[in-house]
C-alpha cells in the first residue's frame, strides 16, 4: 500500500558522487589542485628521505658482509654449511624423449 502523501512529494536530489569511488577521486584531485605547493613540498620531503635512506644502504657480494660477520645468525649459517655442505644448487637438464630408458641412464 502506497502512502499518498509521500507519493506526491518530489524525491530530493541525491548526490551520486558522495561516498562513491568517483567522489573520493574527485575530492583527492580537488585537494591536490588547491594545495599544490603543499603537495610538492610533501613529495620533495619523501624523496629526500628516500635518498638519505638509500645512501646508507650496504651493497655487498659476500654473505659475511651482508650478515655483518659477527652476527649470531651468520655463525649459525657457517655452522650449518659445515654440517651439510654448500647451499649451492646445480640443475641439469637433458632433452630426451624417455630419460629413464636404459641408454640415457647409461650415459649419465
- Reported as a single tens digit per residue, the pLDDT across 25-74 is 999 999 999 999 999 999 999 999 999 998 888 777 776 666 666 778 77
Predicted confidence at residue 39, as pLDDT, reads 96
The rounded distance, in Å, linking the Cα atoms of 22 and 11 is 23
Closest residue by Cα to residue 85 from 95, 77, 93: 77
Could you tell me the pLDDT band of residue 14, with boundaries at 50, 70 and 90?
very low
pTM: 0.40
More confident site: 79 or 28: 28
Residue 103 host element (H or E) = helix 102-107
Amino acid at each position: 500500500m502506497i502512502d499518498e502523501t509521500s507519493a506526491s512529494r518530489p524525491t530530493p536530489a541525491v548526490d551520486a558522487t558522495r561516498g562513491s569511488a568517483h567522489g573520493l577521486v574527485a575530492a583527492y584531485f580537488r585537494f591536490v589542485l588547491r594545495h599544490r605547493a603543499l603537495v610538492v613540498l610533501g613529495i620533495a620531503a619523501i624523496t629526500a628521505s628516500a635518498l638519505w635512506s638509500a645512501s646508507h644502504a650496504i651493497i655487498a657480494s659476500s654473505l659475511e658482509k651482508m650478515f655483518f660477520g659477527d652476527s649470531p645468525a651468520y655463525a649459525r649459517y657457517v655452522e650449518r654449511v659445515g654440517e651439510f655442505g654448500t647451499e649451492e644448487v646445480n640443475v641439469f637438464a637433458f632433452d630426451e624423449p624417455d630419460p629413464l630408458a636404459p641408454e640415457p641412464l647409461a650415459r649419465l
